[in-house]
Amino acid sequence: MADESIVKFIPQTNREKELFQSLDLKKLPRHVAIIMDGNGRWAKMRGFASRINGHRAGIQSVRNVSTTCAKFGIEVLTLYAFSMENWNRPKREINALMHLLNEFLIEERPTLKENNVRLIASGRLNMLPEKTQTILKETISFSSNFTGLILNLSLSYGGQQEIIDSALKLHRALSNKEINEDEVTQEVFSKFLYQPTLPEPDLLIRTSGELRISNFLLWQIAYTEIYITSVLWPDFSSADLLEAFLDFQKRERRFGRVFSSGDAM
């Protein structure tokens, strides 16, 4: 839940004003995760020869959404930026995506500073090109003292791979007698994830209308509310984000519990 007193968002359009007035600022999600889908289709629909044009257009949506979350006082925004499966794409496309990522990491530093956003990253980061790893580390260091929104980029990331990596870390801890087998619980296992200090996502947004999780945050989203929109990622606006917040506020989050005697199992 975001702190109502730190909300600095100012609606810019009539749609944003209408949505903003309907929001309960005391019931905003702490952690928002987004599967940013539809870049390729966006480019194809507009007659571009390359999918990269869609990815480049999607950077503006990343900027808009992260800035909006920062102004709402959201604690964490996790963006599915490059999956483990994306490594199977043509080498030329992968190289272009890494180039875009490098540009983003450098060019966004003033925006991170202006909005007090701290950047972190999750995934098998050692698989990224050396240049990208260097730029990523530099931007993470640049923003390390910022105290607002945590922007968590999932890079070279897969939910199944994270669980495997976490299980291997746990195995090493057990082998080294750092922990006893009878002490292993869900909470203990969570400490071996890529970013163990982050709260679990309250809201998962997927753009472009696809009805699947695509190997994203499989451990963390056990009780996350899921919101699907047909809007393609490059067209996803601050108003679309507010609509997702409104939908989230209509949900009754039970976490497997029953709140009244009349509720069905």
CB count within 10 Å of CB 87 equals 13
- Provide the 8-state DSSP code for 82: E
Active-site hit among 3, 24, 37, 180: 37
**What Cα–Cα distance (Å) separates residue 105 from each residue in 119, 148, 165, 174, 256?**
9, 18, 26, 37, 40
Which residues are registered as beta bridge partners of 228?
206
Phi, psi of 145 (to 5 degrees): -95, 0
Active-site hit among 86, 165, 215, 247: 86
86 carries an active-site annotation: yes
DSSP string, 162-211: HHHHHHHHHHHHHHTTSS-GGG--HHHHHTTSSSTTSPPPSEEEE-TT--
Phi-psi region of 260 (alpha: psi -120 to 50; beta: other; left: phi over 0): beta
3-state class (DSSP) for residue 65? helix
CB count within 10 Å of CB 4 equals 13
Alpha-carbon torsion 129, 135, 138, 139, what sign?
Answer: negative
All residues at 6 or more sequence positions from 127 whose CB lies less than 8 Å from its CB, including other chains: 87, 156
**Burial class (CB within 10 angstroms; exposed 0-12, middle 13-18, buried 19+) of 49:** exposed
| Residues labelled catalytic | 37, 86
